[in-house]
Structure 1
Amino acid sequence: MGPTYARPSGTRRLTRGILAGAAALAVAASAAVAGASLSEADAAEAKPKPAKSADAGDSAINGFRSVGYFTQWGVYGRGYQAKQLDTSGVADELTHVNYAFANIHNERLECFEANKGNGPGPDGSDGAGDAWADYGMGYTAASSVSGVADTWDQPLAGSFNQFKQLKAKHPDLKVLMSIGGWTWSKNFSLAAATDASREKFVSSCIDVFIKGNLPVIDGRGGPGAAAGVFDGFDIDWEWPGSLNGAEGNHVDPVNDRENFKLLLAEFRQQLDALGRKTHRDYLLSAFLPANPADIESGGWNDPEIFESLDFGNVQGYDLHGAWDADLAGHQGNLYGDPADPRPGQYSADLAVQNYLDAGVPAEQLGLGLAMYGRGWTGVTSSDPWSGATGAAPGLYEAGIDDYDLVKNVGTEHYDADLGAAWRYDGTNWWSYDSAQSVTTKAAYIREQGLGGAMWWELSGDRSGELTGALQGVLGTGKAGPVEAPEVEPTEPPDED
């Protein structure tokens, strides 16, 4: 069997205990009514088109994308806020930010907002959301991107307002709402199951996040409150047709593959129809799996889905982790390691070639890079694939730690043939992306004609060492394949 290819369990880790001072928040009423569905004329005109970056409202630095995930829950225990992207200079080295994540309502099968924490068990994500982080939390002048404090009566606060301010300072930066993730992919299969459910789901997502019609919760929100914050959507369905996702996910092994393709086409159709009214282009991207079995079950490397997508980012990490507790090894090696005792010798390149060999345009692919490491303890040798006794201690959870912490552990090692970095302190062995491995992978991106890179997730490298290493290679010299249009000021979409 192949590796788990799991996302960090922190991909969707929301604990209500971290919402200090928010105990009085009420659970939201039903989300605002979804926008009207497409007319027949709109639908006929809005057929999926080849999503070439030059005509899709995309953004690029020297012809390459640098896409970073910003986690909804990171504003709590991690204390990571949008302002840090500005003050660190990282915002200047990014083209897109994917805001992680939006959930799908378990009954209505719509995008929504609520204040309800994840509970235990496979049904714990039902109805979960964090509107407080999204648009409820007030920011002081010191913590605000603009330097102006939020007031009690403004309809939009929280991270949404901070990203609106960040875009005002960095008008070429695109912000996408990422839907799903490891924990919140449970209801994708149901939402994608029929023509009617797909139309309803997509319409609701556009209504809430593009038109910005947020439900009023504790005085925040209202019609158009979040208009202009988001430039499109990132689809993070983990995984259509596959049983490798989180426990409790709805999976239809027979129909998910086709329904996934149709769901992306519905997003493309409705976004384009709205764009004709607002005179804007809206983006659609996806997080692409590395596991060959998951690629096959969902049809992820079918070139037809890239007629709906503007671009997708290939998972280039979590190829190995402490779920294999007795074997320390590479989690994001660029090339396969002949010494890897597991069948398959998995690598980021193997994943990328799976898409390229199927005919996916290289410029529509980004390579996923990790701003964290995966580690083991009880390791008696610095050599990869040595025995271990379990997961290494981590600040937030065992077996995983931020780049900012891993970079200081023990001694650094690097294998130039594999494009793999690791650190060892005599007991703990950590696989991670270093500035050196990022430089190697940036050269690979250029050589393969890829459209750029993606980062999970931005709080792991607060000073921008890794984004800087990427830009040191891709930000100069021959331009990449992404042709970004001239920047236009962000304006709220017109209502119907």
Structure 2
Amino acid sequence: MQLTLRRRGVATALAATTALTGSLLAVAPSAQSATIATAVSPSDTPDTPINGFRNVAYFAQWGVYGRNYQVGDFERSGAADKVNVINYAFANIGQDGQCFEAIKAVGTGGTADDGVGAGDAYADYGKSYDAATSVSGTADAWDQPLAGSFNQLKELKAKHPGLKVVMSIGGWSYSKFWSQVAATDASRKKFVSSCVNMFIKGDLPVIDGRGGSGAGAGVFDGFDLDWEWPGTNNGLTGNIVDPANDGKNFVLLAKEFRTQLDAYGAANGKRYILSAFAPANPEDITAGHWNDPALFQSLDYANVQGYDLWGAWNPSLDGHQINLYDDPADPRDSDKQFSVDKAIKQYTDAGIKPAQLGLGMAMYGRGWTGVTSSTPWSSATGAANGTYEKGIEDYDKIKNLGTGGFDANVGAAWRYDGTNWWSLDTPQTVALKADYIRSKGLGGGMWWELDGDRSGELLTALMAKLGTGATGPLAGGGTTDPTDPGTTDPTDPGTTDPTDPGTTDPGDCSATAWDATKVYTGGDTVSYDGKIYTAQWWTQGDKPGASGSSPWKATGTCSGTTDPTDPGTTDPTDPGTTDPTDPGTTDPTDPGTTDPGDCSATAWDATKVYTGGDTVSYDGKIYTAQWWTQGDKPGAEQWGPWALKGTC
């Protein structure tokens, strides 16, 4: 039985550390799915979709300590408009079968007993924020009943009215008593009522002068159920498990949440969110009734784990932890090979509506050390060092490490510095997964966790694909003009209208006319409606000049030429694959070679960052960057970031 781990955990002000482990078994083999567009009817949803898609991200309670990541940091990053639901992780379940608040550190024994009675009311609603660190720019008063992250989230919602905040219950460390509270009708009613009272009605216990009746009202818009895992022993050692009854009781517990949330919502005219974090392991899915259509009659949606598919719990073999499809080079037994596509199929094949599923992605990497080759599935000697835990590191800290690799067929990316090899989501993998979300009619994406990508690069890459163009399957949002014949059919989540060839420019233009049926990548130039546009990333069917987060950037008019000094935007989606046998690291001491002749473009500089559309000269030739690059020598790689455009 092969176990894998999840990056999920809890910490408190007393511990100020992170318990980041979890469980996932290898997914059973099945044929790789083709990304065939699936038409779905728009689905009503209590959140506020962005262009018909949801983008869910977890905010970790413990991040305010060692990671020093506050809700205000998320607001100041400018990424808040790219997320429509924040899941706050995590609320605990008490031995008495109720939701509770406390200040008690998580233990370090490595079993479920570590989480018994643990909580962090100080981080939740006790910690004061000054004007500089708060979302509102106003310091917390010493006597206000609600402070901490709860109040910061409330301030964030005031600035972003479409944003919803959901309380996640359980997680890896807090799943011991799920089976107990789900066991009977009476225990289900008691548990759900306590959670509604505490987090929806806001009746927080008074701790160190904060809290009180109704103090937390207006913070949370629903619940996210993170039971890991009903009916199996694949969760943390010491969890209460009832293999015969947990699955059906989980369905009944979700129904009780739906019933009580709807009853309270009827009184105040609001519909509350009920979601769940869903496993990728077929054993867990079956035992827990996760893909039972009856469960999804209560849930608005579930986010399927799409990460931690491999990790340094096996210290001798590196490999993909976020791959979209199977890797033919995977040397493991077929029943231990798994992928995001396999996980999603476990649900859709059982009849779950794709629009009720979110694709989970990672803002961190899993890594190995002692690796002598950049090729995936190479031998290793152990887990790579991480800031908070061996084998795990934030996206921000490894995104530029060494040299990047990318396999478009597998939908996987990695970084290699000659010793350490990391598997991670990148703008390229995210773009592919966004296309997958559209083609399968899924409801959107989900992220664990926000403090790993502080500038929101990955959020931006996802919404560059989902936030513009054809609307998704969820009711709400939408930027596409349904009367425009050149846009995607709004009933088809991912197919461009092939009958619209695009509009030819009315005048004489140096660039060819945009064609709605053609695929363009970063740096490609077209003309449309009298203007010249440059593609900032992969695109097909997105009309130049359309509103929203467009892949096209206006770079001139038909009477002029494209400005070669325009830096453009990083191409997050180019499927060019780095040669996995060549680490491809340019000597940083080599500033590049100046072209021997007179060139219209400036000489390439190995130390400079270039983005899609940038033009340089090197060795007598002119090259245009197709995506973000630094240190990649023009002409060195057939599928590299530089496209040959001419000679000097």
Q: Does the residue aligned with 2:115 lie in a helix, a strand or coil?
A: coil
Candidates 150, 156, 168, aligned match of 2:146: 156
| 1:47 alignment counterpart | none
Q: After TM superposition, list the pairs within 5 Å mapping 1:343-422 onto structure 2.
A: 343=333, 344=335, 345-422=337-414
Contact 1:133 1:158 in 2 (8 A): yes
Contact 2:45 2:475 in 1 (8 A): no
Bigger relative contact order, structure 1 or 2 (CA pairs below 8 A, ≥6 apart): 1
Q: Does the residue aligned with 1:412 lie in a helix, a strand or coil?
A: strand
| 2:532 alignment counterpart | none
Distance 1:239 1:426, change over 3 A: same
Q: Does the residue aligned with 2:55 lie in a helix, a strand or coil?
A: strand
Tell me which amino acid in the other structure corresponds to 2:255.
Answer: A
In structure 2, distance between residues paired with 1:84 and 1:105: 31
* Residues 1:452 and 2:450 aligned together: no
Q: After TM superposition, list the pairs within 5 Å mapping 1:194-205 onto structure 2.
A: 194-205=184-195
| 1:101 alignment counterpart | 90
| 2:130 alignment counterpart | 140
| 1:7 alignment counterpart | 6
Q: Does the residue aligned with 2:9 lie in a helix, a strand or coil?
A: helix
Candidates 160, 166, 172, aligned match of 2:162: 172
In structure 2, distance between residues paired with 1:208 and 1:15: 21
Structure 1 position 293, deviation (Å): 0.9
In structure 2, distance between residues paired with 1:236 and 1:75: 21
* 1:29-70 Cα deviation digits (max 9, x unpaired): xxxxxxxxxxxxxxxxxxxxxxx9854422110000000000
Tell me which amino acid in the other structure corresponds to 1:89.
Answer: G
In structure 2, distance between residues paired with 1:154 and 1:82: 18
In structure 2, distance between residues paired with 1:356 and 1:56: 19
Q: After TM superposition, list the pairs within 5 Å mapping 1:59-78 onto structure 2.
A: 59-78=48-67
Contact 2:44 2:474 in 1 (8 A): no
* Residues 1:114 and 2:106 aligned together: no
* 1:282-318 Cα deviation digits (max 9, x unpaired): 0100001001111111011111100000000000000
In structure 1, distance between residues paired with 2:42 and 2:470: 18
Contact 1:53 1:310 in 2 (8 A): no
Q: Does the residue aligned with 1:16 lie in a helix, a strand or coil?
A: coil
| 1:247 alignment counterpart | 237
Structure 1 position 5, deviation (Å): 3.7
Contact 1:54 1:485 in 2 (8 A): no
In structure 2, distance between residues paired with 1:53 and 1:448: 14
Distance 1:53 1:235, change over 3 A: farther
Tell me which amino acid in the other structure corresponds to 2:107.
Answer: G
User: Which blocks of at least 5 consecutive residues in structure 2 are unaligned?
Assistant: 18-40, 479-648
Q: Does the residue aligned with 1:401 lie in a helix, a strand or coil?
A: strand
Q: Does the residue aligned with 1:316 lie in a helix, a strand or coil?
A: coil
Tell me which amino acid in the other structure corresponds to 2:183.
Answer: A
Contact 1:412 1:421 in 2 (8 A): yes
| 1:25 alignment counterpart | none
In structure 2, distance between residues paired with 1:17 and 1:297: 34
* 1:58-115 Cα deviation digits (max 9, x unpaired): 2110000000000000000001111112111111000100000000002x11001001
Percent identity over the alignment is 64
Candidates 469, 472, 481, aligned match of 1:480: 472
* 1:144-202 Cα deviation digits (max 9, x unpaired): 10000001100000000000000000010010000000000111000111100000000
Normalised TM-score (structure 2): 0.68
Contact 2:306 2:322 in 1 (8 A): yes
Tell me which amino acid in the other structure corresponds to 2:14.
Answer: R
In structure 2, distance between residues paired with 1:379 and 1:430: 10
In structure 2, distance between residues paired with 1:55 and 1:339: 42
The alignment of Structure 1 onto Structure 2 pairs a total of residues equal to 451
Tell me which amino acid in the other structure corresponds to 1:193.
Answer: A
Q: Does the residue aligned with 1:208 lie in a helix, a strand or coil?
A: helix
| 1:26 alignment counterpart | none
- Structure with greater Cα Rg: 2
Output the aligned Cα RMSD.
1.4
Tell me which amino acid in the other structure corresponds to 1:384.
Answer: P
Distance 1:53 1:111, change over 3 A: farther
Q: Does the residue aligned with 1:124 lie in a helix, a strand or coil?
A: helix
Contact 1:202 1:270 in 2 (8 A): yes
Contact 2:369 2:380 in 1 (8 A): yes
| 2:456 alignment counterpart | 464
More helix by share: 1
Normalised TM-score (structure 1): 0.89
| 1:85 alignment counterpart | 74
| 2:316 alignment counterpart | 326
In structure 2, distance between residues paired with 1:13 and 1:385: 33
Tell me which amino acid in the other structure corresponds to 2:366.
Answer: R
| 1:306 alignment counterpart | 296
Structure 1 position 7, deviation (Å): 1.1
Structure 1 position 398, deviation (Å): 0.5
Q: Does the residue aligned with 1:454 lie in a helix, a strand or coil?
A: strand
User: Which blocks of at least 5 consecutive residues in structure 1 are unaligned?
Assistant: 20-51, 487-496
Structure 1 position 11, deviation (Å): 2.3
* 1:209-246 Cα deviation digits (max 9, x unpaired): 00000000011000000000000000000000010101
Tell me which amino acid in the other structure corresponds to 1:300.
Answer: W
Q: Does the residue aligned with 1:336 lie in a helix, a strand or coil?
A: coil
In structure 2, distance between residues paired with 1:461 and 1:420: 18
Tell me which amino acid in the other structure corresponds to 1:59.
Answer: T
Distance 1:302 1:5, change over 3 A: farther
Q: Does the residue aligned with 2:396 lie in a helix, a strand or coil?
A: helix
Contact 2:203 2:212 in 1 (8 A): yes
Contact 2:302 2:358 in 1 (8 A): yes
In structure 1, distance between residues paired with 2:4 and 2:276: 16
In structure 2, distance between residues paired with 1:54 and 1:91: 24
